[in-house]
Amino acid sequence: MVSKSKRAAALVLTAVLAAASLAGCGGTTTVTSGGTQTSGGTTSSASTESNAGSGAGDAVDIDSEETIKTIKDAMAKEAEATGGKISMKLWCSGDDLKFEKKLIEEFKEKYKDDRFEIKIQASGAIGEDAAGGKIVESPQDGADVFNFADDQLSTLVEAKAIAKVANLFQNNVVKNNSEDAVTVCKINDTAYAFPKTSDNGYFMYYDKRVFKDEKSVENMDDMIKTANEAGKSVYLNLSNGWYNTGFFFTAGCTVEYKDGVQTADYANEKGLAAAKAMCHLAENIDKGFVGTAGSAGDNAAVQQGFANNQYAAAIIGTWMGPAIKKSIGEENVGAAKLPTVLMDGEQKQLHSFGGYKVVGVNAFTKYPTTAQTLAYFLTTGESQLKRYACRGLIPTNNEALQTKETVKNILDDTDVQVDIQSDPALKAIDAQRQYAHPQGSSVGGKYWASNIGGFGSEIVTAKGKISDADLEKKLKDLVDQMKG
């Protein structure tokens, strides 16, 4: 009778060596608006069918001696073509760079071997918001492993620039992560990415010294009035399309990205209602409301706003939690779902984008086994929990989400008490989830390339004083831009 560990090792051997045996067969690549065209050979093994993961079958004990040995053997074979050296690049968020470098050192220690040397250069210069686009521009010049927001996945797959997740890891990903997180990493039921965090959405952070209870943050008009009386403001960046799209969702507009075509039914009465709701808020510029980040960008604007005692609340994501806590004291930080906004003469719950941050492997990496293993390592439940302890980013891993224990914070090498279930940000995300729309199925590159951000900027600049006729024309132009 074959033991479970040997059966697992056999599965690993089949999956990993299939990838390693095909390494280095990439051809010349030309990237066009319709995707990636390859000539003079086939794509790297990282994107071959042998690596396609559907999630069926048993999970593998990745940490068993047999599995680690087999992975090392495959890594050694990859390294033969480059003189025994594995040299890769990792792209990540600049805010996450220090943390990622620490995880890389743990990865190198776990898989070190006398037969090869691992060198991984981490960079935060190309963050999660831009990584997908940069990879598509020139896959062979891009990072081997990269962090990105889930709405970029369709473009990456269309360009054949991202590898399918290896069967070896996909069963574990399915078992360990939430169903939604697994789903957003798939296109046509094929997995292309590793889920990392579930906080790529936004909600309301507020100062509990200004807003005394949860009821006081239910209505945006009331919040602006309260903040103004306290000599402060509520921050919502209308000049950023990621945030102002929530108004269109609230109005009942539909946004869809399918087969490379972007549609948005904004040029109608519903779109006009959304635009007028933004105008209503913009009338309060300098009177308790801030509607743009200016040249500073959202993160800097929010950090400075709370640090300088100017903001009483801000619509932003979990990544700003640590900075806000540092500015006003953790005991003073509250979090809640988005408030209601005045639309069509009544208060309506403000909707949002909700998404995930994920990790992908470049289809043209010279080191498919190493790259896939690194991507998995960066997104295990343990790594997700450490990331939460260091940066407050919400995990997608099921067990990590239920955690109440002490973990090693790898940034300062101390033990940190972690109780995710008590985190007000997690509760706010959960409360907002029913009003959050997935990015991956809604928007593509054409959406962000349109004037969606500029549309909000014009409203802010005019302090909401724009006629219905002008708004209707701007909405029509906006929709036409998205069509291309």
Angstrom distance (rounded) from CA 408 to CA 406: 7
Query: Is residue 21 predicted with pLDDT exceeding 70?
Result: no
Q: What are phi and psi of 63, to 5 degrees?
A: -95, 5
Kindly state the average pLDDT of the residues 202-210. 98
Residue 359's DSSP bridge partners are 147, 194
- Note the pLDDT tens digit of each residue in 372-411: 999 999 999 999 999 999 988 999 999 999 989 899 999 9
Angstrom distance (rounded) from CA 42 to CA 45: 9
Query: Domain 203-354+422-483, CATH 3.90.79.10 — does that match?
Result: no
- Note the pLDDT tens digit of each residue in 327-342: 999 999 999 999 999 9
- Note the pLDDT tens digit of each residue in 75-94: 999 999 999 999 999 999 99
Say what the pLDDT of residue 50 is.
36
247 or 44: whose pLDDT is higher?
A: 247
Kindly state the average pLDDT of the residues 238-245. 97
Say what the pLDDT of residue 445 is.
80
Say what the pLDDT of residue 53 is.
39
Kindly state the average pLDDT of the residues 199-224. 96
| Entry field: residues in the chain | 484
pLDDT band at 259 (very low <50, low <70, confident <90, very high): confident
Query: Is residue 255 predicted with pLDDT exceeding 80?
Result: yes
Task: Tell me the pLDDT of the chain averaged across its residues.
Answer: 89
Say what the pLDDT of residue 14 is.
52
Say what the pLDDT of residue 296 is.
85
- Note the pLDDT tens digit of each residue in 111-142: 999 999 999 999 999 999 899 999 999 999 99
433 or 349: whose pLDDT is higher?
A: 349
Lowest-pLDDT choice from 69-78, 179-188, 307-316: 179-188
pLDDT band at 6 (very low <50, low <70, confident <90, very high): low
pLDDT band at 145 (very low <50, low <70, confident <90, very high): very high
27 or 452: whose pLDDT is higher?
A: 452
pLDDT band at 19 (very low <50, low <70, confident <90, very high): very low
- Note the pLDDT tens digit of each residue in 180-205: 899 999 998 999 999 999 988 999 99
Say what the pLDDT of residue 41 is.
32
Residues 6+ apart with CB under 8 A from 466: 275, 279, 458, 459, 474
Say what the pLDDT of residue 15 is.
52
Q: Decide: 360 and 156 in contact? Cβ < 8 Å.
A: yes
Query: Is residue 13 predicted with pLDDT exceeding 60?
Result: no
Say what the pLDDT of residue 18 is.
52
Query: Is residue 35 predicted with pLDDT exceeding 60?
Result: no
In CATH terms, are 4-196+356-381 and 203-354+422-483 the same topology?
yes
- Note the pLDDT tens digit of each residue in 134-144: 999 999 999 99
Nearest to 180 by CA among 444, 446, 434: 434
Query: Is residue 480 predicted with pLDDT exceeding 60?
Result: yes
Give domain limits for the chain: 4-196+356-381, 203-354+422-483
Architecture of domain 4-196+356-381: 3-Layer(aba) Sandwich (3.40)
Query: Is residue 421 predicted with pLDDT exceeding 50?
Result: yes
pLDDT band at 355 (very low <50, low <70, confident <90, very high): confident
pTM given for the model:
0.80
Percent residues over pLDDT 90 in the chain = 76
